[in-house]
Copies of this chain bind each other. A is one copy, B any other.
Amino acid sequence: MTDETVMTSSTSDVKSPQRMPVAERRTALIDAALRVVAQHGVSGATTRAIVAEAGMALASFHYAFSSRDELMTELVNHVIEHEQTALVPPLPHEAASVRNVLRDGLQRYFDHLVEEPEREQAMLELTQYALRTPTLQSLARRQYDRYFEMARDSLTLAAELTGAVWRVPTEEIAHLLVAVTDGLTVGWLVNRDDAAARALMDLAADSIAHLAEESA
């Protein structure tokens, strides 16, 4: 019974003070916040829930951040900066058609979505949150600019890999590709219908491939 206090003073206890620089502590809190948002939504991301997820004391929160708003701003910044969801990561393709390269890219994103649905749902909610917060609206725009750039790069790469030429500016096609991906995400999150998602990706790849001149 009396040994409890001895345990409490143990130096290697998990709950014992974690000596870490403030910067590291901030990122730890941001990571925890992202997990909380994924599990309980933005409204569930209270300071107490976040520090609990991070395994820290409530006092540590305002030790690292001046306010919850500051953390949320940093969180949005973080996901924008570090979340290159690899929409269409390049992969040297054998016997590739434009359609297949596009289809592969969509599949790769979809796999990521299925693997971590809460993550992607958190991204959607954070976007909504950013739109509702005047200070963060520009960040939401930047996020979508990144999406467009990624889509554009993928389209350019797809053309290079297959020796095809886009009949329409890649920027416009990129917008379509991002829209389809967004729609795919929301739709799957609602219905969790893998077959429908597959059919959608097939069709989208077909349709968009039609915008390329296949034989260079």
Could you list which residues of chain A lie within 8 angstroms of chain B, going by C-beta atoms?
A: 40-43, 121, 124-125, 127-128, 131-132, 140-141, 143-144, 168, 172-173, 175-176, 178-184, 186-187, 189-191, 196, 199-200, 202-204, 206-208, 210-211
In the complex the two chains form, is A178's CB within 8 Å of B187's CB? yes
Which of B144, B175, B187 meets A199, CB within 8 Å? B175
In the complex the two chains form, is A176's CB within 8 Å of B203's CB? yes
Identical copies in the complex: 2
In the complex the two chains form, is A127's CB within 8 Å of B199's CB? no
**Which of chain B's residues have a CB closer than 8 A to the CB of A206?**
211
Apart from the given pairs A131-B189, A186-B186, 5 other A-B contacts in the complex at a CB distance below 8 Å: A40-B132, A124-B128, A172-B202, A172-B203, A207-B210
A127 CB to nearest B CB, Å: 7
Q: Please, could you name 28 A-B residue pairs with CB atoms under 8 Å apart, sorted by A?
A: A40-B132, A41-B128, A121-B128, A124-B128, A125-B128, A128-B128, A141-B190, A144-B190, A144-B191, A168-B203, A172-B199, A172-B200, A173-B203, A175-B187, A175-B199, A175-B203, A176-B180, A176-B203, A176-B207, A178-B183, A179-B204, A181-B183, A182-B182, A183-B183, A206-B211, A207-B210, A207-B211, A210-B210
